[in-house]
Amino acid sequence: MSKTVLIGVTGCVAIYKTCEIIRGLQKGGVRAKVVMTESATHFINPTLFRSLTREPVAVGLFDDAPGDPIHHVSLAKEADLFLIAPCTANVMAKMAHGIADDLLTTTALATTAPIVIAPAMNVNMYENVATQQNMETLRSRGIEFVDAESGYLACGDEGKGRLADPAVIVKAVLDRLNVKRDLEGKRVLVTAGPTVEPIDAVRFISNPSSGKMGFAIAVAAHNRGADVTLVTGPVSLEDPAGIETVHVKTALEMFDAVESAFGESDIAIFTAAVSDYRPASPVERKLKKGADDAALETLELVENPDILATMASRKRPDQLVVGFAAETENVEANARKKLVGKKADLIVGNLVSHDNGFAIDENEAMLVDARASKELPRMTKAQLACAILDELSLALQ
């Protein structure tokens, strides 16, 4: 499950760098929410942060917050970590002395989550004895700092007080949250969604796969540092940020796309629901029922290539190949049969029913490899993606 970082934004010209911090945290698989001081809204409209995070932005202590009658408490409980970046000398002084006169400082006082502060201000303000004492007070309470950098400041002065590089702040937060980056330097290939096999201009053979499982795995692998290629059939999902996404329609197109990327991959995860058969002779016009178009009544099918089995037969000793088995019964037995028959390293057997599997956000699954079977509880597809990658990460060690 994604960690939540509440980002406190104060009234400082360095506020524009917060946008980069948000993006960096999101790439690290972190959910970001923003709380702003009133002064901060004079530099950036909350709409920008709302657009970046796709979350409501909290500003006023007494603003209406649907479902949150005591907003500073609900925000405080929601955060796995509270990052304040940029943090002004004023806000640090308030925190050091327990003053809580706005939503940001009230939330900071209410949270039990770790707090990380990235200060930014004029060099003289930064070096002032009062500021330094306030910082020492906060450090003594367990608050961590990403120290300001030296350089040219917005006011024209030079010296210490410039907000740390966003990448440095992001790394400090991810390290504090123990976010896994165990796939750094690895290449991961993922297939997702259905394939569509045309019969005529308006009809086709397909299935109800939404692509959600494959997309969740691609995003989770990217968040853990992998270089990901996602090959997807027609779905209604947006392309994940930072991931090379290849769009295909038919099984043959998917086979070609997979073949071109498979050789460079360290892990290949085939979640796509590929049509087993395709019409032998699709036509471009609409077929009519009746004697005029007997082909519609006696549809001839030919077998599509087995992408999982073909790639597994070509894999190097250092490659891992994962397949999925969507079953309505006997999940473990059918998954193990597929593991052996396809020569895969791991099969994820998932139960498909009216409330499980296709087109929903949760799933029940079993991980089956040559050694054992591991039954997983019902969980979200994002959580299942992490569980699968945990297993593969161990196998790579």
Catalytic residues: 155
149-152 and 144-145 as β-strands: parallel, antiparallel, unpaired?
Answer: unpaired
8 Å CB contact between 351 and 328: yes
Rounded CA-CA distance 7/241 in Å is 21
Q: What contacts 298, CB < 8 A, 6 or more positions away?
A: none
**Contact (CB, 8 A) for 144 and 117:** yes
User: How many other C-beta atoms lie within 10 A of the C-beta of residue 166?
Assistant: 20
Cα separation, 133 vs 110, in Å, equals 22
396 C-beta neighbours (distance < 10 Å), count? 12
Cα separation, 122 vs 126, whole angstroms: 6
> Of the candidates 355, 357, 338, which has an alpha carbon nearest to the alpha carbon of residue 346?
338
CA-based nearest residue to 277, from 207, 348, 191, 190:
207
Kindly state the tokens that stand for 4: 């939540």
Structure tokens at 178: 């123990």
The closest alpha carbon to 162, from 174, 153, 170, belongs to: 153
Contacting residues for 354 by C-beta, under 8 A, at least 6 apart? none
